[in-house]
Amino acid sequence: METIGFVGLGRMGRPMASNLARKGFRLVVHDINREAVAALEALQCRGAESPAQVAAESAMVITMLPNSAVVADVVTGPDGILAHAKRGGLVMDMSTVSPETTDAVAKAAAAKGIGFVDAPVGRLAEHADRGESLFMVGGTPEDFARVKPMLEAMGNTIHHCGPVGSGTRTKLVNNFVAIALCELNAEALALSQRFGLELSKTLDVLYGTTAVNGQLKVNWPNKVLKGDTSPGFTIDLAHKDLSLIVEAANAAKVPVPMGAAAREAFSAARASGFGGQDFSAMVDALCTAAGIAKVRLVS
């Protein structure tokens, strides 16, 4: 069996790597957080001291990293993955990054005879825990076939969106809607709270009309509306993604005024100290700013 490298064991990467290990894949792993590496070592994975070591010991490497700059450094840096990967190997980046970063990394990989797949992740951290992630994949049919068994071990929904770069661009479109809906929901429920409406009845109405959306019906009742704002996907990361979205749209000459407004709302929440909380906590940030009691479902 080929050894799979995994770099980036954060809130999403750690459960994904864990699911691979539990399903029989042989892994060598690295993260700057030694505790995360130790958790994977307990699942019979080998810990590595650097991304370079991961690349040297693996047939293919999966990365799940926080932003474009880190991906570029880890993959294409002078002592990064491509500098130590075997010719004929493959890199699959599951991070949410700019299209320009994906294109540049893919080009650098091709120049070294190494395949590249972009496969950013849909759904939330709790889905990753259960092996129920959704993947948006960009790559050649041959490279897609090569990574599909790993994706099937980490998730239950896989979309091959097209050539390299298609996954990253699809993820930005998806996150545009998902994150902007958090701001819309926050404003609507804060207004409901100010009006003195009963929350469960308001939600019953919204769930029965075209106003319903996945954040409001699936995510929020399990997070902020029950008082849990522990981070699955933080306001800081949501702001990062909105910045990628607005910048990519500007580069493509597509106006996104709602995206720009949502980004500034997330900026305000970060400035008020909410950046490390789950992105559903946008409603708490708004209620705090307006002097309204936090919106909660009574159990």
Pair of tokens at residue 74:
């880890």
pLDDT of residue 284: 98
Q: Is the pLDDT of residue 114 over 70?
A: yes
Q: How far apart are CA 160 and CA 115, in angstroms?
A: 16
Architecture of domain 3-164: 3-Layer(aba) Sandwich (3.40)
Specify the pLDDT at position 124. 85
- 240 is an active site residue: no
User: Are 80 and 52 within 8 A, CB to CB?
Assistant: yes
* Whole-prediction pTM: 0.94
**Single-letter code of the amino acid located at 243:** S
With cut-offs at 50, 70 and 90, classify the pLDDT of residue 299: low
Strand 60-63, strand 121-122: pairing: unpaired
Give the SS3 label for residue 136.
Answer: strand
pLDDT in tens, 166-196: 999 999 999 999 999 999 999 999 999 999 9
Q: For residue 174, count CB atoms less than 10 angstroms from its CB and return exposed for 0-12, middle for 13-18, buried for 19 or more.
A: middle
State the pairing for strand pair 46-47/26-30: parallel
Domain range annotation of the chain: 3-164, 170-290
**Per-residue pLDDT at 125:** 87
State the pLDDT at residue 298: 80
pLDDT per residue over 212-269, tens digit each? 999 999 999 999 999 999 998 999 999 999 999 999 999 999 999 999 999 999 999 9
First to last CA, the chain: 49
Note the pLDDT of residue 165. Answer: 98
**pLDDT number for residue 106:** 98
Which residue out of 23, 86, 171, 223 is catalytically annotated?
171
Please, which residues have CB within 8 angstroms of residue 221's CB and are 6 or more apart in sequence? 203, 297
Mean pLDDT within 33-37: 96
Share of the chain above pLDDT 90, in %: 97
CATH architecture of 170-290: Orthogonal Bundle (1.10)
At 92 the three-state DSSP class reads: strand
